[in-house]
Amino acid sequence: MGSSEWQFKSRFEPELPVPDVAPRKVATGFLPVIALDRKSSTPLHRQIYDIYRAAIVNGNLAPLQKIPSSRALAAELRISRIPVLSAYAQLLGEGYLESVGGGGTFVSKSLPDRFPSSQHRREETPKVHSGPRPISSRSATLPSFIGAPWLVGRGAFTVGQVAVEHFPFHVWLRLVSRYYKSVRAAPLYFSDPMGSKDFRSSIAKYLRTVRSVKCDADQIMVVSGSQQALDVAARVLLDPGDSVWLEEPGYSLSRRVFMLAGCRLIPVPVDQEGLNVAAGIRLCKNARAAYVTPSHQFPLGATMSSSRRHQLLEWAQQVGAWIIEDDYDSEYRYESSPIASLQGLDRNSRVIYVGTFSKTLYPSLRVGYVVIPTDLVDRFAATRLAMDVYPSDLFQAVLSDFINEGHYSRHLRRTSLLYRERREALVNAIAEQFGSAVQVQGEQSGLHLVATLPEGLDDQQVAKRAAAKNVWAWPLSTCYLGRPVLQGLVLGFGSTPLAEVGPAIRRLNKAIDELR
Ligand SMILES: Cc1ncc(COP(=O)(O)O)c(C=O)c1O
């Protein structure tokens, strides 16, 4: 199967019920621009006819869309009604338009036989790509966006998905409508590039209490997810050519940010204690920054040990480097109590702390935050103004209430129990199906685990075969920047209901058998 067939659309996407309603007349819609050429030898009525007919045949005017009355169009074009009436009469006669006695004139529900709907052709987008077409070398180096087979589907073990069916939409809707019903709703003027003060205060309180982050509201910038936090941090802190330590294996989307910033990527190996700081120093002591996931290393799952945390902070202070701490899923820990953030240990304000609501609520919410050292706040705000000016307002207000009224902590408690069960079911199903041939790691927290594959198996082949069986595992090898050390699968358990875990692991086993 060609990769383009996999792009964006999965064969396994759930079919949504199509509402059984008859097409309705569209009272208003966009109308074609009519630029009449009064000097042309083509009469005015023919020009109007040609423009409307083309718009209908191209599908730019929808079936049953209302078109202006002849009087209104004539007034708009500043011509007499006669040419308009004549053009409409011809379009009506040929079946492009239909009129409903007294109700107006509409585009016909079905086109004349000469133009069956299958022949609806949109105007061709020009494909002329001649002449120099330079793009930035940084953009050119980014890997293509075309989705690999394992990235396009939704179903068992999709990485990064959560239990949306357990999201308290009834509460959320109530809070959203509270804002839409009142004038407080949406400020119609420019807002703060850092985000709303109320929301930032709620986040600061939460982070101080639950993550031991040292911060107040003024240091918090609201962003559209961790990805934007990394982007703004890279723009503020790094110049093209600067070296950045990245965990190896690591989170591939973070890599893209530093590539786009023109940085030199230094893959630093991770082990059971997290990032190997000594190895990083050997590879590139004077790196300008390190990107780390100390609470739950992505993807292997180690929690960074206390001695490594201190080594990392010491190194950063010694060489004047920045540490970007991505604390993406620390809310879910199943076997030990939560550990404090790296930022909370830092005495020299070298850590930029990044958090997100993608895991605890749902990823398409696109809300996250970054905690900025006080002396850098102004630079972050100035940079944000050049990016997207300021964050969208509504969800900040809603989330603020969601946190302050206790819904967030309740949701965290509930989902924590749910994910614990899903994780256990997955670990047990893997043990049952594969025995000691497959090793599980990183399952003590978060919403994914890694299953390492027996020698001789190529994880990309396995993931491709599994995707064809509606099992959406990421090949571990794709998380390496350099040569992969381990072959395995990253399996998300957040969005996989208990009843689906066993059957999906059996399908995975079958996929592996077929490759042997
Ligand atoms: C390491 C890591 N960081 C951050 C995120 C969340 O990113 P965002 O907040 O941009 O949705 C993920 C999601 O899977 C992740 O794996």
Mean of all residue pLDDT scores within the chain:
91
Q: Is residue 432 part of a domain?
A: yes
Confidence of residue 24 (pLDDT cuts 50, 70, 90): low
**CA 159 to centroid of ligand 1, rounded, Å:** 10
Confidence of residue 279 (pLDDT cuts 50, 70, 90): very high
- Residue whose CB lies within 8 A of the most ligand 1 atoms, among 161, 222, 224, 251, for a mutation test: 251
CATH code assigned at 243: 3.40.640.10
Q: Kindly give the distance from the C-alpha atom of residue 445 to the centroid of ligand 1, in angstroms, as a whole number.
A: 15
Residue 174 lies in a domain: no
Same domain as 372, residue 250: yes
Q: Is the pLDDT of residue 187 over 90?
A: no
Pairing verdict, β 220-223 and 66-67: unpaired
- Position in ligand 1 atom list of the atom nearest CA 366: 11
One domain, residues 255 and 192: yes
Instruction: For residue 4, tell me if it sits in a domain.
Output: no
The CATH number of the domain holding residue 499 is: 3.90.1150.10
Residue 4, pLDDT > 80, answer: no
Over range 241-265, report the average pLDDT. 97
Atom of ligand 1 nearest to the CA of 225: 9
Does pLDDT of 17 surpass 80?
no
Q: Are residues 352 and 433 in the same domain?
A: no
**What does the pLDDT average to over 39-61?**
94
Q: What is the pLDDT of residues 481-490, one digit of tens each?
A: 999 999 999 9
Q: Is the pLDDT of residue 77 over 60?
A: yes
Residue range(s) defining the domain that contains residue 335: 187-404
CA-nearest of 298, 296, 288 to 322 is 288
Of the pLDDT bands very low, low, confident and very high (cuts 50, 70, 90), residue 246 is very high
Q: For residue 159, which atom of ligand 1 is closest to its CA?
A: 14
Which stretch of 110-114, 374-378, 457-461 has the lowest confidence by average pLDDT? Answer: 110-114
Ligand 1 centroid, distance to 369 Cα (angstroms): 12
Is 30 domain-assigned? Answer: no
Angle between helix 44-57 and 81-93 (nearest 10) = 40
**Closest Cα to residue 210, out of 408, 417, 421, 418?**
408
Is 242 part of any domain? yes
Q: Kindly state whether residue 308 falls inside one of the protein's structural domains.
A: yes
Q: Which of 344, 379, 404 is the last residue of a domain?
A: 404
The ligand 1 site (C-beta within 6 Å) comprises 160, 225-227, 251, 293, 298, 326, 328, 356, 358, 363, 368
Do 200 and 268 fall within a single domain? yes
Do 287 and 227 belong to one domain?
yes
Q: Inform me whether the pLDDT recorded for 76 exceeds 80.
A: yes
Same domain as 457, residue 323: no
Q: How much is the average pLDDT of 382-411?
A: 94
243 contacts 284 by C-beta, under 8 angstroms:
yes
Please, which residues bridge with residue 440 across strands? 451
Res 11: pLDDT: 37
| Domain endpoint, select from 369, 404, 439 | 404
Pocket mutation for ligand 1, best pick of 157, 222, 226, 361 (most atoms within 8 Å of C-beta): 226
For ligand 1, atom 2, which residue shows the shortest CA distance?
Answer: 328
State the pLDDT confidence band at 147, using cuts at 50, 70 and 90: confident
Among 248, 256, 359, say which to mutate for ligand 1: greatest number of ligand atoms within 8 Å of CB.
359
* pLDDT band for position 10 (cuts 50, 70, 90): very low
Lowest mean pLDDT among 121-130, 256-265, 267-276, 455-464: 121-130
In degrees rounded to 5, what are phi and psi of residue 87?
-65, -45
In a domain, 136, yes or no: no
Give the residue-averaged pLDDT of 353-382. Answer: 97
Say yes or no to pLDDT of 320 above 90.
yes
Say whether pLDDT at 12 is over 50: no
C-alpha distances (whole Å) from 24 to each of 56, 107, 238, 374 are: 17, 12, 55, 57
**How many whole angstroms from 444 Cα to the centroid of ligand 1?**
18
Strand partners, 26: 65
Tokens 């509409």 -> residue: 106
Q: How far is the CA of 56 from the centre of ligand 1 (A)?
A: 45
* Res 124: pLDDT: 62
Q: In this structure, are strands 448-452 and 474-475 parallel, antiparallel, or unpaired?
A: unpaired
The residue among 498 and 17 whose pLDDT is bigger is: 498
What pLDDT, in 10s, does the model give residues 103-139?
889 999 887 765 555 445 555 667 778 899 999 999 9
Asked if 357 and 368 touch (Cβ cutoff 8 Å), the reply is yes
pLDDT value, residue 122? 56
Q: Are residues 453 and 468 in the same domain?
A: yes
pTM: 0.88
How many domains, the chain?
Answer: 3
My answer on whether 255 and 382 are in the same domain is: yes
Does residue 418 share a domain with residue 391?
Answer: no
Pocket residue to mutate for ligand 1, from 252, 328, 399, most atoms within 8 A of Cβ: 328
In order, the DSSP letters of 440-451 are: EESTTBSSEEEE
Give the position, in ligand 1's atom list, of the atom nearest the Cα of 250: 1
CA of 64 to the centre of ligand 1 (A): 44
pLDDT at residue 59 tops 50? yes
Same domain, 335 and 452: no
Question: What is the identity of the amino acid at 398?
Answer: V
* Residue 439, domain member (yes or no): yes
% of the chain surpassing 70 pLDDT = 90
**Which residue's CA is the nearest one to ligand 1's atom 4?**
328
Give yes or no: residues 90 and 230 share one domain.
no
Q: Which residues contact 187 (CB under 8 A, 6 or more apart)?
A: 393
Give nearest CA residue, ligand 1 atom 13. 160
Ligand 1 center from residue 225 Cα (angstroms): 8
The two three-digit tokens of residue 57, written as one number? 């045949």
**Domain with 73 in it: what CATH number?**
1.10.10.10
Name the residue at shortest CA distance from atom 3 of ligand 1. Answer: 328
Domain final residue pick, 353, 374, 404? 404
Whether the per-residue pLDDT at 7 is higher than 50: the answer is no
What's residue 118's pLDDT? 44
pLDDT of residue 356: 98
Q: Does residue 298 sit in the same domain as residue 365?
A: yes
